[in-house]
Amino acid sequence: MELRFNARTDVIQAFATPIYGLRIFEAEPLNADLKSLILNDESSDPGVQRSNVGGWHSREDFLSRPERAVRTFKELALTAVRTVMPLMVGGACRFDVKVAGWANVLRRGGQNRRHVHPGNHLSIVYYVDAGTPAAASDASVGGALELIDPRAHVEMTTLAEDPLGRGLIVQPYNGQMVIFPSWMYHQVNPYQGDAERISIAVNAHISNVMRLPETRSGELVNARH
């Protein structure tokens, strides 16, 4: 009698939640235009109160603006959704998607309380200007995006060195785009940088999903929008 176990083949990673990290390369001109637009808005509009504490949150029609920079960013956000959707549903697909978004500005001490984005399927955070980066050892107060482990009662684990239940810390950089399920609780820890941290948040509502035959080249099928 022998007990056998292969760590490569005999472990089931159950209930994984994919988080998608994308990057817009050569985004400096776009980011400069978006930053100027957002800071100008902040100076003339009190914004709205949502999860933001000590930070500015624009109205939620930001992606409806006519400026070229906003239109360019909106198309990039839609492209990102088209990119990850086939990974979510297991293959090429066609779907309808509607997006809405807003801008955020954090200064020293600003944060966003733990929250979700109900009524949507995917949420995006894009960093126009990450401001002053936090030290790796100071993520909890460095303005990092923290995605909360969604498994109920996971905090009941008692193993001191077991990472189960810890949040996923995302340290931002300019041009970074993070996509996660809208139902996932998340927060932005207190930002302690000297420069503004400017981001754009986007919610994507997806409907009429239809799986399509795989193409020979493996190319993804674009969404309708």
Q: Which domains does the chain have, with CATH numbers?
A: 20-149+163-211 (2.60.120.620)
Q: Is the pLDDT of residue 136 over 60?
A: no
Q: Is the pLDDT of residue 219 over 60?
A: no
Alpha helices, DSSP H, located in the chain = 28-44, 68-89
pLDDT for 163 equals 73
Token reading at 50: 């949502």
Cα angle 89-168-137, degrees, rounded to a multiple of 5 = 155
pLDDT for 214 equals 72
pLDDT for 152 equals 81
CA-nearest of 136, 217, 145 to 185 is 145
pLDDT for 224 equals 57
Q: Is the pLDDT of residue 137 over 80?
A: no
Give the pLDDT band (50/70/90) at residue 143.
confident
Torsion of Cα atoms, 155 then 159 then 162 then 166, to 10°: 20
User: Model pTM?
Assistant: 0.90
Give the pLDDT band (50/70/90) at residue 14.
confident
Q: How far, in Å, CA of 218 to CA of 22, rounded? A: 20
β strands within the chain, DSSP E: 20-23, 52-53, 56-57, 93-106, 111-115, 122-129, 145-147, 168-170, 176-181, 186-188, 197-211
Q: Is the pLDDT of residue 25 over 70?
A: yes
Average pLDDT score, the chain: 91
pLDDT for 46 equals 96
pLDDT, one tens digit per residue, over 100-121 is 999 999 999 999 999 999 999 9
Q: Is the pLDDT of residue 198 over 80?
A: yes
pLDDT, one tens digit per residue, over 56-80 is 999 999 999 999 999 999 999 999 9
Q: How many CB atoms lie within 10 A of CB 90?
A: 8
